[in-house]
Amino acid sequence: MQKVDVPVVPRETCITTLRGTSLGLNFELHESLICAGGEAGKDTCIVDRGSPLVCTIPGSKDRYYQAGIFAWGIGCNNPAAYISVSYM
């Protein structure tokens, strides 16, 4: 498994960005999904499905929690969708 640092993307920013893709202007992000990534050169690919999205526990430098599971993405340099572990 490899590691890449990707930012969690605010929901509205994610929706706006993804509406500019082949998903179209009517795209809505299901409440069970969170977005991360979208930076040039840092991306998840189809082979990464099921990979964890982990975040640092606030106040800790070396403790993490799993926030999501990679579900899908649209091309490169766009935010990818992760299933929110807390939604499950």
In a domain, 3, yes or no: no
Tell me if residue 27 falls in helix, strand or coil.
coil
**Amino acid identity at 38:** G
**Amino acid identity at 9:** V
- The answer, yes or no, to whether residue 55 has pLDDT greater than 80, is yes
**Element holding 9 (H helix, E strand):** strand 8-9
Task: Give all strands of the β-sheet with 79-84 in edge-to-edge order.
Answer: 8-9, 33-37, 79-84, 64-73, 52-56
Q: Give the CATH number for residue 12.
A: 2.40.10.10
How do residues 7-16 score in pLDDT, each as one tens digit?
999 999 999 9
The count of structural domains within the chain is 1
In terms of pTM, does the model score above 0.75?
yes
Q: What is the chain's mean pLDDT, rounded? A: 92
Taking residue 66's Cβ as centre, other Cβ atoms within 10 Å add up to 12
**Element holding 57 (H helix, E strand):** none
In a domain, 28, yes or no: yes
Tokens, residue 15: 């929706």
